[in-house]
Amino acid sequence: MPRIKISKRTVDGIIPPPAGANDKATQEFYRDTELTGFGLKVTNKGTKTYIVEARVQGKAKRITLGKHGPLTPEQARKQAQITLGQIATGNDPVADKKDQQIKGVTLADAYRDYLLARHNLKPSTLGEYQRCIKGALSDWLNKPMTDITKDMIETRHRKLGETSVAGANGTMRVLRAIFNFAIEQYEDQKGQPIIQVNPTKRLSKTRSWYEVKPRQTLLTPTQLKPWFDATLKLNQETTRDYLHFLLFTGLRKSEASKMTWGNVNFNERSFLIPDTKNKDPHRLPMSDHLEALLKQRHFQSESPWVFPSPITDGPLKEPRTSIKRVIELSDIKFTLHDLRRTFATTAENLDIPHYALKRLLNHRAANDVTGGYIVPNAERLREPMQKITNYILGQIEGTDNDVSSK
């Protein structure tokens, strides 16, 4: 390796080496005559880079300082002296630099990496995460994760709670998940996590989480008839049928709205929801009322969607205008999820067996060994499904047909 006094004149005067066979990249190295370990790398492309060569903790290493041009020989020499001094005192500049980079990971960096790891998130979940991180915590995105303190979290949680206690809790739960991910994902050169404790634990330690009681609203038996009568006055038949379908199936709003005719099996009198909240495909039998509703829709349909949007080629979105209209006509406030609660409460009041109720609602039996041995069968749910339908129709028609199945 040639030895030269590294100066602007000598570096500028170095001619790049020729390319190798088949235009293969080549490079030459030059060592400084005054500072041992300081050198220059020159490629056949004409790139000239200042380097330091030394044994770091017993291993020969070549450390890049920077390119000639943006970095002058004098600046590179001073930087080389600092680097060699660090090595002489037992430090590893490369590892130290990586430590500094890893400790500088921002909330935006961690959030991006978290989403890459959780690549199967549903669009609705992703949308909620975006509202929390890029909405409620947008001013923290460029902060290093190590700079987000317990006090900051406690203060922000309290501030968010002034607007929405549920939103405040939701934001901090998402942040807690990202911190848990960061603790496992980002380590220093010694293999230690750069974040030792999840700072959102402060909220648990101080019992600062807001108490958010689940909604208990639903359609009572006496409200079923006026609500149903109000839906019949809607101009949009698709929206009317969609509301009825939710009431008589207990499905979540997106599960029903995204159904296609390919999911409906009239021969077996059943329908399938392939994409559910818990990712378990959900097959349900048709009661006689649902069968009639679906057959009528299928006869009139010109769309692959069971409940198509009247505006786009896609499925029906949440019909807020129609919901508002039904509320005005019936004087009964409700949400689409209230219809699911109505279905579930009706099933429970009719003493539908525990496992059948869980299957109807597509709830997993957590920590239930017995439930794990039961293979779901839509046909076993036909009688409970019909029983619930009969009761709801009985309340609507005033026949109190609450226990028999047709």
Mean pLDDT score of the chain:
90
Is the predicted pLDDT of residue 339 greater than 60, yes or no?
A: yes
Confidence band, pLDDT 50/70/90 cuts, at residue 368: low
CATH of domain 107-205: 1.10.150
Average pLDDT, integer, range 66-79: 94
Residue 189: pLDDT over 90: no
Q: What is the DSSP string of 106-166?
A: BHHHHHHHHHHHTTT--HHHHHHHHIIIIIITGGGTTSBGGG--HHHHHHHHHHHHTT-HH
Is the confidence at residue 226, as pLDDT, over 90? yes
Measured CA to CA, the distance from residue 359 to residue 104 in angstroms comes to 47
Does the pLDDT at position 252 exceed 60? yes
Q: Please provide residue 50's backbone torsions phi and psi, each rounded to the nearest 5 degrees.
A: -80, 140
Task: Identify the residue with better confidence: 221 or 60.
Answer: 221
Average pLDDT over residues 78-91: 88
CATH match for 3-91 among 3.90.1010.10, 3.40.190.10, 3.40.50.2300, 3.30.160.390: 3.30.160.390
Highest mean pLDDT out of 13-22, 70-79, 97-106? 70-79
CATH of domain 221-397: 1.10.443.10
pLDDT attached to residue 373: 47
Residue 265, beta-bridge partner list = 270
pLDDT in the model for residue 278 = 77
The percentage of the chain sitting over the pLDDT mark of 70, rounded to a whole number, equals 94
Q: Which of the pair, 90 or 113, is modelled with greater confidence?
A: 113
pLDDT confidence of residue 404:
43
pLDDT of residue 406: 40
Q: 51: part of which helix (H) or strand (E)?
A: strand 48-56
The answer to whether domain 3-91 and domain 221-397 are alike in fold is: no
Q: Which residues lie closer than 8 Å to 314 by C-beta, 6 or more apart?
A: 305, 308
Q: Where are the alpha helices (DSSP H) in 29-121?
A: 73-88, 93-103, 107-117
In the chain, the amino acid numbered 149 is: T
Whether 271 shows a pLDDT value over 90: the answer reads yes
pLDDT at 96 over 80: no
In tens, the pLDDT along 191-212 reads 788 898 999 999 999 999 998 8
Q: What pLDDT score was predicted for residue 43?
A: 94
Q: Which residues contact 84 (CB under 8 A, 6 or more apart)?
A: 35, 37, 38, 52, 54
- Measured from the Cβ of residue 68, the count of other Cβ atoms closer than 10 Å reads 21
What are the extents of the domains in the chain? 3-91, 107-205, 221-397
CA distance 351 to 184: 46
Strand partners, 28: 42
**Residue 187 phi/psi, 5° resolution?**
-130, 155
